[in-house]
Structures are given as C-alpha cells and as structure tokens.
Structure 1
C-alpha cells in the first residue's frame, strides 16, 4: 500500500508539474514574441520579466535560464542566470542534451534539491527551450519540490504502520481467543485420550458451557465411562475365570494325588497281575501322568490368558540351559536313535530372562525335535550379538508343509494326529512356548520343509524390555539351501514375534 500510494502521489505531482511548466514556458515565450527589444539592457530586462512571470505561473522560485551552446556570440545576449542556489548542480547532462536537441518539447528528471538549513528534499526539474529576441535560443529549467508529497507519504506510512500494529494486535487477540476457546479444549481432549489409551480409565474432559466443544467433551466422557465399565466387567470375568481355574485345579489335585498313589501301587505290582490287568495298570499310570501334565499346562495357559504372568528375570546363560535340557532328554534321544549336538560358537553371553520359562521352551523344542526327527541328529545352536541371544533347534526328520507351519503354534494342534506320542505331550507345549517368548519381548519362529526337517528359532533381547531388530542365527538355517531350490523359495517360515 505504501509503494502504491507513493507512486500515485508522484504521478499526480508530475502531471501537475508538467502542466504548470508548460503554461509558464508558453507565457514566457509569448512575452518574448511580443517584445521589440534590440539592445542588451532591454533583453536583460525582458528576461527578468520573463523569470518573474515564470515564477508566478509555475509557483516555483527555482528557475534557470542557460544559453544553448553552439550559437554565434552576440553582445546583446545576456549571461546565464539561475535561482537554484545550492541546487545548481542537479541539472543532469542527459537532461540538458535532450533539451538542447529538441525545441518545443518538455523533458523532466527526478533530482534531489537542497532545502532550507542544507536539508535535502526530493524534486523534479522540467526543461524546455525558449527563443529570446536578438539573443537566440535558451534552455529553461524549472525545479519543483516534492516535500509536500513526501510529507503526505510519510503521514500515510505512519498511519499504515499504526493500522498494521493495531491489525497485528487484533489478529493476536483473535488467535488467542481461538486458542483459548477452540485449540486448548482440543489439546485437552487429545491429552485425555492419550491418558485413557495408556490405561488411566479415571481421566475425563472438563465439561463447560453448551457449545460444540462441550458436546464433544460430554460424548467423550460418556464413551470413557462405557469403556471403563466394560473393561471392569471383563476384568471381573477374567478374575472369576482365573479363580475358577485355580479352584478347579486345587480341587482336582487332591483326588488326582490319591489316584496317582493308588495307580503307583498298582503299577509297581503289575508283574503279579494277569496280563490284561497289568496292561490296565500301565495305561492308568501313563494317563495319570499325562493328566497331571495337562492340568499344569492348562493352569499356565490360563495365566497367560488372564494376563497375570510375572517374570522372575535374572542374568542367565542360554548355553547352560541348553546343556541341562540336552542332558535331561539324552536318554529319550538314545531310545529314538537320535544324536543330540550342541553348537555354541558365540553364545556364552548372559541375557535377562526367566530361566524356568526358557528351560521349559528348550525342553519342548528339543523334545519335539526328537519326537519328529526320525532317528536323525538333532542340532541345538546358540549364538549372540550385542543386542540379542538366539537358540535354534534343528532336526532332519519329517518336516512340515507351509499349511502345517501356519498352525504349528495353535493349541491342541497336531501335524499328524495318528502319530504315537512317546513323551506324553499335551498339545499345549508350543502354544505355551510362544507365550513364554512373547512375554520376554522375544521371537519364536519356525522353518520347515517336507522331508528336510524343521528348525525352531528362539530369539531373546539381552536386556529386559529391549526391542529386537534382528537375530544372530539365520532362518532358514544355512544347511537348508537344498530345500530352498534354485528359485530361492522358503518352503515354510512362520512363528510368533512380539510386536
């Protein structure tokens, strides 16, 4: 706005100046044309009268009359005269050249004039030619001050500045009002929703007024109340379920213990029984043991379902756990014809884990490898890096298809239901192992291929609560290249990993 107004003021003043200059030049030329002066004194008096007329007509007292160079010298021609004072040098060479070359036209130039008390003010110099009788052609320059226009522009700029400051303050006030009454409640709603999502079910949004924000607050609080009520109901149901399972387990253990004692007595005396009775005593002993395992697994899986599992972590070396698990299952492996091998190139590093749960995972994985290894070697590998420790159990037995791999961690699922179990599994071992891995923020993954065997990989963070990014042991295993085929297709990779 300031630039636009300044340009308008300049153009308006320029038009006025050119009009006044043209009128003053015409009046002076008319005065010269009607004169009959013949000597130097008369011509000098005529120029003085012309300057007075120009000043009166143009309302400018800055007038310069300069003889056009290149004319014949004449004793009648008066000398150059100027009332520019200290601003005599403002008439530029380009302007003089244009005026000298073009008679009858006006030319102008923006200049800086010296005002009172040696101050500088903007101005315009208008030049044209006049013809003086006997003396010849002269250059006429009239200077106009733009001080009034500059003062007007300064006033406008100050007004615009004050208006701009007022506008900024107004915008600031409006913004504050918007933030106070709109953005702040939305921020409170966002913070409240985050607290609610993090588990603080008691938090609510303050309800004030009857506007849209208040309606949103009431709707949100109603949703929070409903959500809190449903979560409490689910928590109560979970607690009831857990208590029921615990009570049932406690009540079952007493008669089960009695049955176990009686079954042991019969089992120890089975040699003195008839063959059918002895076989019955053996079946009773086996099924009671399996029932005890099933009851323990059901209790454990119910704890995971209820979310009541608590880790008892301590620095533990997975190699030692693997050695203990291999020793406990070596007799079973020998009976199946499998050779148990432990490979630990860099696994002697501690990890913050619950050793009881990890030992259970190893027992399940190694036991399954022996069960399905078809008498072939079972290799247990342990390795580590700066952030993770991994354990892999590799067998070279039957293997599984990709469809079977997708269900391997399902509860009570068996790849071959007709296959005889030799270690009394309950069908919950891998499901519990997956939960044990997840509660450690770890991964339990599997690769398998029909006829090539399987490889289960357990990866755990070395520090409790850390997030895994990779595993020190590759999956598929390095010796599975033949099963991958030339296209590099992985026949079956699946598993559970903590998100």
Structure 2
C-alpha cells in the first residue's frame, strides 16, 4: 500500500538522520545559510524594488510637471488670441493634446472637464484612443479638483494587450493628475497614465538573478561543508569503527596516524589508550584464567579428602547414640558442616564452569507449571517448619518449553528457599503465566524486604546484607548468583523487586522460543496482589525495624 511505503521511507530517513553526523551538519548548515541568505536577499530585493520605484516615480513627477506646465503655457498664450467661439476652442483643443504629448512619455493622456465647472463655453473631453477610463477613481478626481496646486498620484493595474488587441495580463502603472485652467471654459483635469511594466521587468530580472545567485551560493556552501565535514568526520567515523572492533574483542585494531594536526594527535592518543587497555585486559584475562584454574583445581582436589571425611563423619553420626551427649552433638555438627561444605564445593565448581564458559544446556520439552508445582512440593516441609503457606497461581505456563529442567529446578529451589528464609512466616505466592513470547515464574513473599541499595547487590557472589543474621535453612551465598547465570544461559532474565517491610519478589522470565526475543514479561513486577485481606496484621515494631532488624542475604 502507498502509505506503507511512505511510512517505511520516513522511518529510513529518520534512521539515516540519527546515524549520520555528516548529514545533520550539512543539513543544518544549508538550512541556516538559506535562512540568512533569504533574509539578506529579501532585504536587498525590497531595497532594490523600492529604489527602482522611487527613481521611476521621481522621473514621472518631473516629466508630468513639465507636461502640465507646457499645457498651461499653451492655454495662457491662447488666452489673448482665442475668443469665446466654439471654432476657436476646437482649434485650441486640437493643438493642446499634441503639445502636452510632446513634453511627456505617458502611454495615455486625458483632458476632462471638471464636473462642477459652471462656464457656458466648454472644451470637449479629449483622450488618446486607448485611454483606460476605469483607472480613474472618484477619489483621484476629487483630489485633483480640490488640490489644484499639486500633482496627484495613484498606482493602478493596466491591461497588457497583444498585437491583436487581446488582453494578455496586467502590469503596474501610475496615473498622474493635475488641474488646468482653460480660458473661457473653466477648470479641466489633466491625467497622464504611465506604464511601469519595463521597471517591473527590470526588477523581475534582478530578482531572478538574485534568486539564482542565492541558490548557487547555498549549493556552494553545502559543497564546502560536505568537503570539510568529510575531512573531519571521516577520521571520527574510522575511530568509531575501531572502537566497535575493540569492544568486540579485536584488541589489535588501531587508528592510522598521519600528519601532525589535531586528528593525528587524537589518533595517537587513542592508540596509546588502546595499547594500555590491551595490556590491562590481557593481564586481567590471564589473572582470571589463573583464578578459574585455581578454583577448579582446588575444588577437584578437595573432593577426594572430602569424600573420606564424609565417610568418617557418617560412621561417627550413625554411632552417636553410643557416645556421651557432648560427643554426639559434635558428630551431628560435623555431619551438618560436611554437607554444607559439599554444597559449597559443588557451587564453586559450577561457578568455575560458568566463568570458563564450559556450561552446556541439556534442554527438553518441559511444562513449567508442573515443574513449579514439583519444586513447591520439594520445599513444602521447610515452609511448614516456619509456618509459611505456599500458594501457586498459574493462569498460564502449561505448554511445553525447551529448557534445562535441572537448572530451572535449581533456580526455583533457590528462590523458594530465600522466600521461606525471609518471609517471616507469612504466605508465599508463586505465579506462573505466559504470553506469545515468554513464560514467567514469580516468587513473592511478604517478609522484611530490602532497600534499593541491597536489591542492586543481591546477585553478587557471597554477598549478605547482614552476616550476623541467623539462617534456618543454610546456604553458600552463591545460590542467586548461580540462578542468574542459569537464567542468562537460557536467554532469559531474573529480576527482583523489594521494599523494606513490604516484601520481595523475584521473577524469572524465559523465552518460549529462544529464536524469538522476549518483548514483555507476562508477569508484572511485583505480581498483582492475591492475598488482600488474608495477611495477618504486621507488628508495628517489625515495620519500624524491618522485621527482625535485618535484610535478606
């Protein structure tokens, strides 16, 4: 459809405008130059037009004054020789018009009797053959009759006739009126019609030259700006491309260094900066590899002695009933810490795999609503131990999605464990929903919550808001960091919302098809409340202190 093509073209033009610094510079320079030249050209055109008109007007006034003087002289000379007879007046009339015409270059001339003249003997109205009577307005004739000592002017539009007498258009003109005194005939009016078409054509020619010159000047300015900006923007564009390559990991890319100007100085400074960054990145990469190798090697080396320690601990734990109470308690603590040590070791190995980018997904079609229900059943005893009710709300998410089920279960266990740990015994709502591009799982508790500063660091490794806080479930401090890595591995997102004294909500959003990017999560953050009126009243002291005075890890 045409409107679609126009819309597409407009979108491309906007994208080109936003991306091209050279285009914006040239366009703004040309537009501003055009405005300046237009203002100057308009001022010059008005000045030239006014000057031409005033010059021509002065010429016409001088000429008309001579013609009026010539006509009045003829009348004054005839006053002594011409009587009151009609024949003598006719002779005077026939000689008056040529005499005035010889002193003026007017296109048309008219001598008209004043309407209020009372003399009995009159001259007939005399005009040239094509005198345009329509140009004489009543206001002009009234001015001529009343102001007998001055010339009266009136701009008019005159018809332009072809050789065949056909009207081709109009052109500007000027009518000059004056008063004449005819012997024995009273007051008459003299009108001279001047054609200003030649002056208008001269002005049009000058304006055309001015317009063409302005366009040429604007084009020249645009060309000069194009050359200048190309010279300046070219190295900047090259620097931008080199920066993108450096950001993509091509650390050997450098800018060419030519000349001694500012751009060359910029290139040398940029290259020195790139060299420094390359050295630091290489050092950090080497250090990171050493650290990853160290963690991996240590973790692997610890597995063998840990296995031995676990076997010995299990033997002691199984025989704890035969020991004195203090020794039995020691065996129980030993077993608990060995299990925690095993969890920490497993998490360290998993983190080292993420750091080494050696993790691969083992995906299979999985119903996330059912998987979430299974995860809730797994942690139900822990929730019952602290008095928290686990409630599942699943309006969507019942379709099969290609995910690594083991990793998604681990994410849910971490999120549910945190909610139980910090939910203050209040209900925990797990929401599952889906849309066209994504499936989301949200875990919402109504516990102590976190401050914005704490929420920003909640996915940091080994970070805890208050290490002194008592933990009833345990953990290594790596659960949320591993969960975030698992979510990113699925091309998904793990978001958090929290307010002190209100609660916390973690939301896992996964794509239904990894080839289609997520446009919008199907679950709001936080999800819509489903427990209004069901929560027990909170202790005001807890609200002031943030639960038990601590934030979640």
- Superposition TM-score tier, normalisation by shorter sequence: 0.7 to 0.9
**Equivalent of 1:232 in 282, 297, 302:** 282
Match for residue 45 of structure 1?
91
In the aligned structure 1, how far is the partner of 2:192 from the partner of 2:152? 11
Question: Is 1:356 the equivalent of 2:406?
Answer: yes
> Does structure 2 conserve the Cα–Cα contact (< 8 Å) formed by 1:437 and 1:458?
no
**Equivalent of 2:56 in 13, 35, 38:** 13
| Superposed CA offset, 1:305-350 (max 9, x none) | 667666555554444334434544556677x485875534536535
Match for residue 145 of structure 1?
195
| Superposed CA offset, 1:374-406 (max 9, x none) | 9x687563432535533436588xx68979977
Question: Is 1:85 the equivalent of 2:156?
Answer: no
Greater shift, 192-201 or 160-169, is seen at 192-201
Deviation at 1:124, TM superposition (A): 1.8
Match for residue 507 of structure 2?
459
Deviation at 1:83, TM superposition (A): 2.1
Cα distance change, pair 211–254 in 1 and its aligned pair in 2 (3 A): same
Question: Is 1:473 the equivalent of 2:473?
Answer: no
Question: Is 1:154 the equivalent of 2:197?
Answer: no
Cα distance change, pair 48–482 in 1 and its aligned pair in 2 (3 A): same
In the aligned structure 2, how far is the partner of 1:245 from the partner of 1:41? 136
Spell out the pairing of 1:196-345 with structure 2 (5 A cutoff). 196-197=246-247, 201=251, 204-205=254-255, 207-265=257-315, 267-268=317-318, 283-303=333-353, 312=362, 315-329=365-379, 336=385, 341-345=390-394
Spell out the pairing of 1:167-186 with structure 2 (5 A cutoff). 167-186=217-236
Greater shift, 92-101 or 259-268, is seen at 259-268
**Equivalent of 1:55 in 84, 98, 101:** 101
In the aligned structure 2, how far is the partner of 1:438 from the partner of 1:173? 50
**Equivalent of 2:140 in 86, 95, 109:** 95
- The number of residue pairs the alignment matches comes to 485
Cα distance change, pair 477–353 in 1 and its aligned pair in 2 (3 A): farther
In the aligned structure 2, how far is the partner of 1:207 from the partner of 1:230? 23
Q: Give the secondary structure class of the aligned counterpart of 2:493.
A: coil
The gaps in structure 1 that reach 5 residues or longer are: none
In the aligned structure 2, how far is the partner of 1:425 from the partner of 1:108? 104
Match for residue 67 of structure 1?
113
> Does structure 2 conserve the Cα–Cα contact (< 8 Å) formed by 1:404 and 1:415?
no
> Does structure 2 conserve the Cα–Cα contact (< 8 Å) formed by 1:388 and 1:472?
no
Match for residue 165 of structure 1?
215
> Does structure 2 conserve the Cα–Cα contact (< 8 Å) formed by 1:113 and 1:123?
no
Cα distance change, pair 275–166 in 1 and its aligned pair in 2 (3 A): closer
In the aligned structure 2, how far is the partner of 1:65 from the partner of 1:367? 114
> Does structure 2 conserve the Cα–Cα contact (< 8 Å) formed by 1:447 and 1:494?
no
Normalising by structure 1, report the TM-score: 0.78
> Does structure 2 conserve the Cα–Cα contact (< 8 Å) formed by 1:64 and 1:140?
yes
Q: Give the secondary structure class of the aligned counterpart of 1:85.
A: coil
Question: Is 1:31 the equivalent of 2:78?
Answer: no
Cα distance change, pair 352–4 in 1 and its aligned pair in 2 (3 A): farther
**Equivalent of 1:384 in 414, 418, 433:** 433
Q: Give the secondary structure class of the aligned counterpart of 2:524.
A: coil
- Structure with greater Cα Rg: 1
> Does structure 2 conserve the Cα–Cα contact (< 8 Å) formed by 1:388 and 1:471?
no
The gaps in structure 2 that reach 5 residues or longer are: 1-43
Question: Is 1:443 the equivalent of 2:498?
Answer: no
Q: CA RMSD in A?
A: 4.4
